[in-house]
Amino acid sequence: MRAAPPFARAVVIGASGGVGGALALALAESGAEVEAFSRSGRAPGHPRLQAGTLDLLDEASIAAAAARVKAGGAPDLVIVATGLLHGEGVQPEKTWRQIEPDAFARLFAVNATGPALVAKHMLPLLPREGRAVFAALSARVGSISDNRLGGWVGYRASKAALNMIVQTLSLELRRTHPAALCVALHPGTVETALSDPFSRNAVRVTPEAAAGNLLRVLSTLAPEDSGGCFAWDGQRIPA
């Protein structure tokens, strides 16, 4: 399949993180004008990159970020590069006995509700004509049919919810933006604080390599792929 041309105007949510920062910088270096948001307001430095604040747990801040993006022109890429696996009172469960309602609520707020609210405010900004992409970082462990190990109940469930949100959004987006895509992406195991405690025996890639992989995948996807979840190597992950 022929690769799509580089993006012209991109929005990256989670630009202070490893993968999000690498995505924002790679997009800027490819020639895109980048709006890079994070809760702290930190983002990589680059002449084509503008940093801003956005808190996934605060819809007003998402709406304010969307207003700023709208003022600068329609983006052809919005990517939510955020996620919570551990920290902030959350630890992956090894057994159902460790399920805690507060941890569940936090995981769903960050991994599912937050990206859904970003979509609520950012999808209307995509151009009606021509190729555009809304993407959110998911995880292979969010696949229900691929779950053979158990554990990590809250994280798995929140990422499965995100995949369903993406699929549902894609159906509505198709009615008004026929050339646009709404997809979930699995970056693989990346050398970041999210995966470090749980990936000592796994093959890991740098955030820069992960960003390059994800952008290559996005460049090859077509409108008929909208709604799917795709791994870093372009393979579709089953629901």
Q: Quote the pLDDT of residue 148.
A: 83
Q: Which two tokens stand for residue 234?
A: 């372009």
Confidence of residue 6 (pLDDT cuts 50, 70, 90): confident
Instruction: Tell whether the model's pLDDT for residue 1 goes beyond 60.
Output: no
Q: Quote the pLDDT of residue 218.
A: 97
Torsion, Cα of 184, 189, 194, 197 (10° steps) = 150
Q: Quote the pLDDT of residue 89.
A: 84
Lowest-confidence range among 4-8, 36-40, 95-99? 4-8
**Mean per-residue pLDDT of the chain:** 94
136 — phi, psi (to 5°)? -135, 140
- This prediction has a pTM of 0.93
Secondary structure letter of residue 150 according to DSSP: -
Q: Which two tokens stand for residue 58?
A: 């605060």
Q: Quote the pLDDT of residue 231.
A: 97
Q: Quote the pLDDT of residue 201.
A: 64
Contacting residues for 182 by C-beta, under 8 A, at least 6 apart: 119, 123, 133, 134, 135, 166, 169, 170, 173, 226, 227
Please state, for a pLDDT cut of 70, what percent of the chain lies above it: 95
Instruction: Tell whether the model's pLDDT for residue 52 goes beyond 80.
Output: yes
Q: Quote the pLDDT of residue 197.
A: 67
Across the range 138-164, mean pLDDT stands at 94
Element (H, E) at 136: strand 132-137
Q: Quote the pLDDT of residue 222.
A: 95
87 forms beta bridges with 90
- Alpha carbon distance 142, 44 (integer Å): 29
Given a contact cutoff of 8 angstroms between Cβ atoms, the answer to whether 139 and 155 are in contact is yes
- Alpha carbon distance 167, 25 (integer Å): 28
The radius of gyration of the chain's CA atoms, rounded to the nearest angstrom, is 17
Tell me the residue length of the chain. 239
Contacting residues for 91 by C-beta, under 8 A, at least 6 apart: 98, 103
Pick the CATH number of 9-237 from 3.30.590.10, 3.40.50.620, 3.40.50.720, 3.40.50.150: 3.40.50.720
Q: What is the DSSP string of 51-107?
A: EEE--TT-HHHHHHHHHHHHHH---SEEEE----SSBTTB---SSGGG--HHHHHHH
Q: Quote the pLDDT of residue 4.
A: 73
Q: Quote the pLDDT of residue 47.
A: 97
Q: How many helices (H) and strands (E) does the chain have?
A: 6, 8
Instruction: Tell whether the model's pLDDT for residue 200 goes beyond 70.
Output: no
Lowest-confidence range among 110-124, 158-172, 179-193? 179-193
36 forms beta bridges with 12, 51
